[in-house]
Structure 1
Amino acid sequence: MVADSVVLQVQGLRFAYPECAVLEGFSLAWPAGLALVQGDESTGKTTLLRVLAGELTPQAGDITLRGVRRGAVPAAAWRAQVFWQDPRATALDPLTVRQWLGSLPAHCARWDAAALAAHVEGFSLEPHLDKPFFALSTGSRRKALMAAALASGAALTLIDEPVAGLDKPSVSYLGQALAEAARQPARLVVVAHYEALPGVPWDSVATLARPR
């Protein structure tokens, strides 16, 4: 792979919780497109996304996004290039979906309102826009987060366990939406899931195993 084509480079990444190590010497070099992080439960998929997002600080290793090393810029500047929302977090619970979506253009320089409208329709989110997040089902919550992620235009877009609670039409739409987002120049969309989603054209794949 030509160095100029690499959007995300990770070298020698190490992250350990007090009770166990999760990532040991992890490295990758991925171009723009659609990437899959796969593995069984407790292999570190969500942890890796949180480290890439700047939510967790690794004990060792370097992360470079579009030629900029994470440690060389302020945390806020790094996060401005990344879209990440943990579907398990409760911070959004008091907000309605519409309120939250309306706040995002101010934080996403490449926000695409037309794409958001398409994703709201594709995921059948319209009936849920004025509901608070705490009132959403697992599937509706994930659909709202993914609609925003895909519309964000972020250079690095991180999506965790995308099909939990989704109905079949939404799973089908998700595959189409992922492929479309990944065609945007210099954008990398990373999805963490225990296996490859059928019919999705992955450009890069990393498989995590439990540390020994």
Structure 2
Amino acid sequence: MCTSSMFHLEVQGVTCGPIHNLSFTWSPGVSWVCGDECKGKTTLLRLLAGDLQPTAGKVIAPEGGVFWIDLQSPEHDATTVQACWDALRPHYPQWHHEVLNDLVDALNMNEHREKQLHMLSAGSRRKVMVIAALASGATITLLDQPFAALDFGSIRIIKEFLHEAAEHPSRAWIVADYTAPDDVPLASVLNLDAQQ
């Protein structure tokens, strides 16, 4: 398990797609990456996840795993909600069954467990990703626009989770969205609009 003294997540002079020569260091807790459309929010998350490699610079990440998944693509359409979670669980040794079940109840997803993803609304499909991310137990959890298409009640529940996560000494939740919220304590905010 990564301790706060060992936690080191950083990009050094990274260039990839719309991101040019970006250097930034993250601390444990909840951080935000914000910016307008096509400024590189998702690209940065994919770089941190190792899903993309920079054309220049480097990414330094701590041990303990990175959670990143994009369930919006058609390749996941035929997968059921439960099968999706079952497939992810073995990749995350610190997976929290209790957190998953609590979030499933709180976000009203029990009735959808055996549905294929293509049968879900955009908001429910996003909840599948968010629930898995928050239950993963990964040292770094990457969330791309977790509130898109969600109702206010669901957004409130996720923000409550992030509010508690903000105090964690050895894990980081990095959220990419257009603007940073003023009702979640943030370790840092990286505004990609200001980097251009």
TM-score by length of 2: 0.91
* Residue among 23, 34, 37 paired with 1:38: 34
Give how far 1:86 is off: 1.6
Rounded to whole Å, the distance in 2 between the matches of 1:88 and 1:100 is: 12
Rounded to whole Å, the distance in 2 between the matches of 1:34 and 1:46 is: 17
Give how far 1:210 is off: 7.8
Give how far 1:91 is off: 2.5
Rounded to whole Å, the distance in 2 between the matches of 1:64 and 1:121 is: 36
Rounded to whole Å, the distance in 1 between the matches of 2:71 and 2:47 is: 16
Q: Does 1:125 align with 2:125?
A: no
Unpaired runs of at least 5, structure 1:
17-21, 69-79
Give how far 1:5 is off: 6.2
Unpaired runs of at least 5, structure 2:
none
Rounded to whole Å, the distance in 2 between the matches of 1:183 and 1:143 is: 23
- Alpha carbons 1:40, 1:209 under 8 Å: kept: yes
Number of the residue aligned with 1:72: none
* Residue among 76, 83, 90 paired with 2:67: 83
* Residue among 203, 206, 210 paired with 2:187: 203
Rounded to whole Å, the distance in 2 between the matches of 1:129 and 1:96 is: 7
- Name the SS of the counterpart of 1:91 in structure 2: helix
Against the structure 1 CA distance between its residues 160 and 15, is the aligned structure 2 distance closer, same or farther, given a 3 Å change threshold? same
* Residue among 51, 57, 72 paired with 1:55: 51
Rounded to whole Å, the distance in 2 between the matches of 1:33 and 1:208 is: 20
Q: Given residue 37 of structure 1, which amino acid in structure 2 is its aligned partner?
A: V
* Residue among 162, 166, 170 paired with 1:186: 170
Task: Report the RMSD for the aligned CA atoms in angstroms.
Answer: 1.9
Q: Given residue 96 of structure 1, which amino acid in structure 2 is its aligned partner?
A: T
Q: Percent identity?
A: 39
- Name the SS of the counterpart of 2:156 in structure 1: helix
Rounded to whole Å, the distance in 2 between the matches of 1:158 and 1:118 is: 20
Q: Given residue 154 of structure 2, which amino acid in structure 1 is its aligned partner?
A: S
Rounded to whole Å, the distance in 2 between the matches of 1:9 and 1:104 is: 25
Rounded to whole Å, the distance in 2 between the matches of 1:203 and 1:117 is: 28
Number of the residue aligned with 2:16: 15
- Alpha carbons 2:166, 2:187 under 8 Å: kept: no
Give how far 1:106 is off: 1.0
* Residue among 142, 155, 162 paired with 1:158: 142
Rounded to whole Å, the distance in 1 between the matches of 2:73 and 2:168 is: 28
- Alpha carbons 1:15, 1:24 under 8 Å: kept: yes
Q: Does 1:149 align with 2:133?
A: yes
Give how far 1:175 is off: 0.3
Q: How many equivalent residue pairs?
A: 193
Against the structure 1 CA distance between its residues 133 and 169, is the aligned structure 2 distance closer, same or farther, given a 3 Å change threshold? same
Against the structure 1 CA distance between its residues 196 and 210, is the aligned structure 2 distance closer, same or farther, given a 3 Å change threshold? closer
Q: Given residue 24 of structure 1, which amino acid in structure 2 is its aligned partner?
A: H
